[in-house]
Amino acid sequence: MVQFHEHIIGDLLEDPSGGLVILSAGLGLPKLISSLLLLHDPSQGSVLILNASPSQKNSIEITSQISSSSAAASITADLAVNHRLSLYTSGGIFFITARILIVDLLAQRLPITSVAGIILLNAHSISDTSTEAFIVRILRSSNRSLYVRAFSDRPHAMVSGFAKAERTLKCLFLRKLHLWPRFQVYVSQDLERDPPQVIDIRVPMSPHMIRIQKAVIEVMDACLKEMRKSNKVDVEDLTVENGLFKSFDEIVRRQLDPIWHTLGKRTKQLVSDLKTLRKLLDYLARYDAVTYLKYLDSVRASESFRSVWIFAESSYKVFEYAKKRVYHFGLSNIEKSVGLSKTASIRKRKLDESNKGGDDSSASANSSLVLEEILEEPPKWKVLREILVEIQEERQKQAMAGEELIVEGEDNQNGNILVACKDECSCMQLQDCITKGQRKVMREEWEKYLTSKVELQALPKSKQKKTKAPKGFGILDGITPSVSGQKSEVTSIGKQENDALLAAAYEISKQAKKDTVVKEVVTSEGRGKGRRNETKKKKSNIGKTNPQPETSIQSETPSKHEDEIIDHNAPESEHLGKRVLRKHDPGPENTSQLPSVYFHALESDQSILDILQPSVIIVYHPDMAFVREIEIYKSENPSKKVKVYFLFYEDSTEVQKFEASIRRENGAFESLIRQKSLMTISVGQSYPVPAHLAPFVMLDIHRLTLNCLDEQFLGESSFLDPQSVTAQNLITRKAGGKKVAEKEMQVIVDMREFMSSLPNMLHQKGMRIIPVTLEIGDYILSPLICVERKSIQDLFGSFSSGRLYHQVEMMSRYYRIPVLLIEFSQDKSFSFQSANEISDDVTPHNIISKLSLLVLHFPRLRIVWSRSLHATAEIFATLKANQDEPDEAKAIRVGVPSEDGIIENDVRAENYNTSAVEFLRRLPGVTDSNYRSIMDGCKSLAELALLPIEKLAELMGGQKAAKTLREFLDAKYPTLL
């Protein structure tokens, strides 16, 4: 354990009530938690770990040094109630979800005194409406000695919004805020005492990559300027540097959500376009040229007519240069393409002059066009291979010279090499580059790209009428989609380019069928070839870089051997014609034995360093948190020699994003330090007070001073929960301060509803929450009122699946007052639809039309619109006024049939024959508007069949409906005689 972890634990133990710890990303939070758990004594009670992500849970379990007898276990819903109770009282350490814990607390299945403390992870996601805050409030009210220790490693999330850190402390009833940035004295001393050897390699980007990056940044800047014109977002946040992070979307949406319904389509699309442009910059440095082009094609196909950025001035450059990295289509006399890398493998496909399916003009036009395959390799691939060759050569020299050192305590894993990539896809591709070779991987990606073109072409075409002037993919390059049966201009460059790609795909698929037997032999020969690698690297200590980069993707021009493979077979398709394939062989690669390499995906958030114990770490995609993990790893193993290679694309957004992430974190900590010095935290800890102690407490109107009438019950310093101050405030003008006891309100809540924050708000309003499993409804307010709560997203999904119709039908059957609660988010606009989304025509797919049909079909249904959780709690309190409290046993039995199929305590069945009512509503002439009057006018279906037509017309409200029903009842059924 590093020393600054000991300082953090010491600061936490000073305050018995706990505290909130915010530290920099990558500073070993799982190890800190594991060290803290080592100090737990089972005699103190159980420790519950809340809000842990799966990766954090796995990391804590791996890094924990707890003995097997006291190892942390998980409490899940699969465990029986008695088993969970035994675990709660065992004094162990348990991972548990907030939903399970709050239900056990409200159902009184958890002895509160048996809980020693709570450890909360990801404290930046805690708010006053979260379930975790609900749990802490209940536990604090009954167990004063319980501690709460909250942790967060995302400081930038703790400065979003107004006084985020102070509000988090308030809802967790904490007073101490502990800040541990990377620049803290103890942290800097520990991590910089024995730093690893760092080799910083700045890899120049290819010319086309530079042009693509410049074009995307220009388009992003143009989109930001358009957003500034709307005057809806803070101008200071609209910068290209902020746009490189995912949090930029949250910043923009947080400002625009309250007025989202007033925005135009252009502004809404700009928000989506900025997200797409950030991905384009990220994928440019992460993936190869073919994969990048494939992603661009998917973006253009899905967003071509909606996106604003595609029609920007520089957008066409992104598509143009992305194509030039993969292939070049043009006249045959153009032998050199702009920005062609010398290491790229080149193949040419020439359109033959003899095109049997075309006319003379098409033949002459096709004869001069060539598809030239570039297949530009990412510059980092070559550098990575050179690093591995250098490592292997150094190890061989040490072995031959006898300089290999064996240090006591080190095992055979000292020579492990770890390559850290952003995602799993990059890891798999780099592994193929090392095993198969770079050119073979690019060839496979190119063949997959062409195969996808063929599969797309083979899809069945829609039989809709085509317009005379079909719309293309846009104004970028004039490409027109090829449609069967549609005559387009043969001179269209877009169609000829598409045909050439299809022809190349057909040739590859045909050649693969012919070479199925020989393929394995060719592959084995190709793997036997070595690779050519010559790269110089610059070395420096940590934090220092050489300003003169020597690494380059340029190399000696390989010898070119052109082989012509002529296909004399029949053409693949009539309009494609024959092809001549010109293949350029770039020459053999240097043969060298590479060491074994382990790959790690940074997105998996798994702690791999302590398990693998690598001696060489290659950071292929730089990440600030992983750099800190390397520093922690080296600090914990000072005797181990660790060499770290950093691969950056020079003058790229990759470097800019890495540096900006460090600046953003430092700025967040500086802001937190200022907030900490200005926080208005009460000297007395703000614990909620139980109801039986409320008469002993006096609280003035400004809540500035606290006077205890009986310290025997209250202790030294406490005051009431802020939400219950009004209910428990003592007014001395009324009968000497005596307050009439109010009846406690109860709400029966379905178990599944504890995923939301509404039960928390109802509890703050002073209502008793009874968690049960309900078959019908989400909330039972009284014996007559049943509420089905729907968020906006859930409402659309319920309409699509038909689930809402069944839910409302069941509520109408068993309760007198069924209520559909449509709840909006507090930070979003209280608008169901934008004004421009409401059409004049009534369509069955419109959400307003669906709601109207639902109300017409169930006239007793009441729809309640709520703008926030707080408003919902107020509405529930109003609905419960002058209503009886719900019966828990009766609510559980509603809708649950017995063994004989009879539903007990059916509220509607007590007054109505439900089967007869459903039969009546299906009779001709009976509608939703008249079936109730028919039920009032006759007692049974038999009496209805005997009524004269005049009486039926009076009950049904019309002669026509009565005649229809009478004719149906008197109609003779056909016989077989």
Work out the pLDDT band at 161, boundaries 50, 70, 90.
confident
Can you tell me the distance from the alpha carbon of 607 to that of 233, in angstroms, rounded to the nearest whole number?
Answer: 39
Whether 731 contacts 846, CB under 8 Å: no
Can you tell me the distance from the alpha carbon of 341 to that of 376, in angstroms, rounded to the nearest whole number?
Answer: 7
Q: Is residue 761 part of a domain?
A: yes
**By three-state DSSP, how is residue 671 classified?**
helix
Q: Which residue has the higher pLDDT, 90 or 373?
A: 90
**Helices marked H in 532-617:** 609-612
CA 702 centroid distance within chain: 43
Regarding whether 188 and 48 lie in a shared domain, the answer is yes
Q: Which CATH number belongs to the domain containing residue 82 in this structure?
A: 3.40.50.300
Q: What is the pLDDT of residue 619?
A: 94
DSSP string for residues in 576-596: T--EEEEEEE--PBBP-PPPP
Tokens at residue 450, please? 């062409």
Work out the pLDDT band at 33, boundaries 50, 70, 90.
very high
Regarding whether 777 and 696 lie in a shared domain, the answer is no
**If you compute the radius of gyration of the chain from its CA atoms, what whole number of angstroms results?**
36
Of the residues 290, 310, 336, the one at which a domain ends? 336
Regarding whether 863 and 786 lie in a shared domain, the answer is yes
Regarding whether 756 and 733 lie in a shared domain, the answer is no
Residue 185 has pLDDT above 90, yes or no: yes
Of the residues 309, 336, 363, the one at which a domain ends? 336
Tokens at residue 776, please? 């019908």
Classify 187 in phi/psi space as left (phi over 0), alpha (psi -120 to 50) or beta: alpha
Residue with tokens 């910043």: 251
Query: pLDDT (tens digit, 9 = 90+) per residue, 598-619?
Result: 999 998 888 888 888 899 999 9
Q: Is residue 711 part of a domain?
A: yes
- Give the total number of structural domains in the chain: 5
Regarding whether 168 and 24 lie in a shared domain, the answer is yes
Q: Is residue 278 part of a domain?
A: yes
Q: Which CATH number belongs to the domain containing residue 766 in this structure?
A: 3.40.50.10130
* 8-state DSSP, 602: G
The phi and psi torsions of 403 (rounded to 5 degrees) equal -100, 10
Q: What is the separation, in whole angstroms, between the first and last Cα of the chain?
A: 97
With 0-12 / 13-18 / 19 or more C-beta atoms within 10 angstroms meaning exposed / middle / buried, residue 446 is buried
Regarding whether 250 and 138 lie in a shared domain, the answer is no
Dihedral sign for Cα 937, 940, 941, 944, please. negative
**Helices marked H in 815-894:** 847-857, 869-879, 888-893
Q: What is the pLDDT of residue 64?
A: 72
Regarding whether 297 and 279 lie in a shared domain, the answer is yes
Residue 573 has pLDDT above 50, yes or no: no
Regarding whether 866 and 944 lie in a shared domain, the answer is no
Q: Is residue 610 part of a domain?
A: no
* 8-state DSSP, 140: H
Regarding whether 166 and 117 lie in a shared domain, the answer is yes
Burial 611-633 (b: 16+ CB within 10 A, else e): ebbbbbbbbbbbbbbbbbbbbbb
- Of 196-205, 254-263, 710-719, give the lowest mean pLDDT range: 710-719
* 8-state DSSP, 902: P
Q: What is the pLDDT of residue 679?
A: 83
DSSP string for residues in 285-298: HHS-HHHHHHHHHH
Q: Is residue 631 part of a domain?
A: no
Regarding whether 87 and 231 lie in a shared domain, the answer is no
Can you tell me the distance from the alpha carbon of 343 to that of 522, in angstroms, rounded to the nearest whole number?
Answer: 22
Query: pLDDT (tens digit, 9 = 90+) per residue, 412-439?
Result: 444 789 999 999 999 999 999 988 888 9
Q: What is the pLDDT of residue 404?
A: 47
- 26 CB contacts (<8 Å, ≥6 apart)? 153, 624, 625, 626, 627, 628, 629, 631, 632
- Of 32-36, 106-110, 492-496, give the lowest mean pLDDT range: 492-496
Q: Is residue 818 part of a domain?
A: yes
Of the residues 192, 218, 252, the one at which a domain ends? 192
Regarding whether 880 and 941 lie in a shared domain, the answer is no
Query: pLDDT (tens digit, 9 = 90+) per residue, 395-414?
Result: 888 888 765 444 444 444 44
Whether 72 contacts 94, CB under 8 Å: yes
Work out the pLDDT band at 646, boundaries 50, 70, 90.
very high
Q: What is the pLDDT of residue 828?
A: 76
**Domain of 733, in residue numbers:** 691-737
Query: pLDDT (tens digit, 9 = 90+) per residue, 663-700?
Result: 999 999 999 999 998 887 655 444 554 444 343 333 33
Burial 376-412 (b: 16+ CB within 10 A, else e): bbbbbbbbbbbbbbbbeeeeeeeeeeeeeeeeeebee
Residue 535 has pLDDT above 50, yes or no: no
Q: Is residue 517 part of a domain?
A: no
- 566 CB contacts (<8 Å, ≥6 apart)? 580, 581
Q: What is the pLDDT of residue 222?
A: 85
Residue 300 has pLDDT above 80, yes or no: yes
Q: Which CATH number belongs to the domain containing residue 955 in this structure?
A: 1.10.150.20
Whether 779 contacts 789, CB under 8 Å: yes
Whether 891 contacts 921, CB under 8 Å: no
Q: What is the pLDDT of residue 290?
A: 92
Query: CA dist 136 to 193, 389, 686, 703, Å?
Result: 40, 56, 12, 22
Can you tell me the distance from the alpha carbon of 681 to that of 166, in angstroms, rounded to the nearest whole number?
Answer: 8
Residue 768 has pLDDT above 50, yes or no: yes
Q: Is residue 476 part of a domain?
A: no
Q: Quick one: which of 123, 59, 61 has its CA closest to 93?
A: 61
Can you tell me the distance from the alpha carbon of 788 to that of 892, in angstroms, rounded to the nearest whole number?
Answer: 15
Percentage above 70 pLDDT, the chain? 71
Angle, CA 470 vertex, CA 467 and CA 475 arms, to 5°:
155
- 454 CB contacts (<8 Å, ≥6 apart)? 502, 505, 506, 509
Regarding whether 820 and 946 lie in a shared domain, the answer is no
- 743 CB contacts (<8 Å, ≥6 apart)? none
Tokens at residue 584, please? 């350029």
Q: What is the pLDDT of residue 873?
A: 92
Query: CA dist 515 to 88, 110, 116, 213, 572, Å?
Result: 66, 69, 70, 40, 17
Whether 748 contacts 774, CB under 8 Å: yes
Tokens at residue 907, please? 């509220």
Can you tell me the distance from the alpha carbon of 666 to that of 662, in angstroms, rounded to the nearest whole number?
Answer: 6
